Amino acid sequence: MNEGEKNMKQKNKFGTCAAALIGLLRERSIQAHAADLALPKLDDPQTILDGAGHYAAMCTGCHLAPGMADSEIRPGLYPRPPNLSKVRPPRMTMVQASRSSPGS
């Protein structure tokens, strides 16, 4: 094989079977390590404020923030992390909101 003949970009590095296996192992690892995590209380304003600070400090380099341009690191990541500043949670109906409120 001649030098430079094979494209070694990360997304072209593995064949289809190897990429599928790596993806499966990644998903199973996440499931195994996240199984015992407790969800934070999302109705607590301090928890929301703390989470926003953590996101700003540790997540925006990969997942960006509103108005933020692509970072230097994002193009080299595989799979490319989603731009969470463009993801909106689904809106809840009034019934769903009343069922999720404290004391109901």
pLDDT digits (tens, 9 = 90+) for 41-96: 888 999 989 999 999 999 999 999 999 988 888 888 888 899 998 887 777 665 55
Q: Please provide residue 18's backbone torsions phi and psi, each rounded to the nearest 5 degrees.
A: -65, -40
Q: Into how many domains does the chain fold?
A: 2
Token pair recorded at residue 18: 């190897």
pTM of the model: 0.53
Residue 59's pLDDT is 93
Token pair recorded at residue 71: 């970072």
**Burial label, 14 (beta-carbon count in 10 A; 0-12, 13-18, 19+):** middle
Residue 16's pLDDT is 82
In a domain, 96, yes or no: no
Q: By residue range, what is the domain housing residue 53?
A: 39-87
pLDDT band at 19, cuts 50/70/90?
Answer: confident
Residue 23's pLDDT is 86
58 and 44 co-located in one domain:
yes
Residue 104's pLDDT is 43
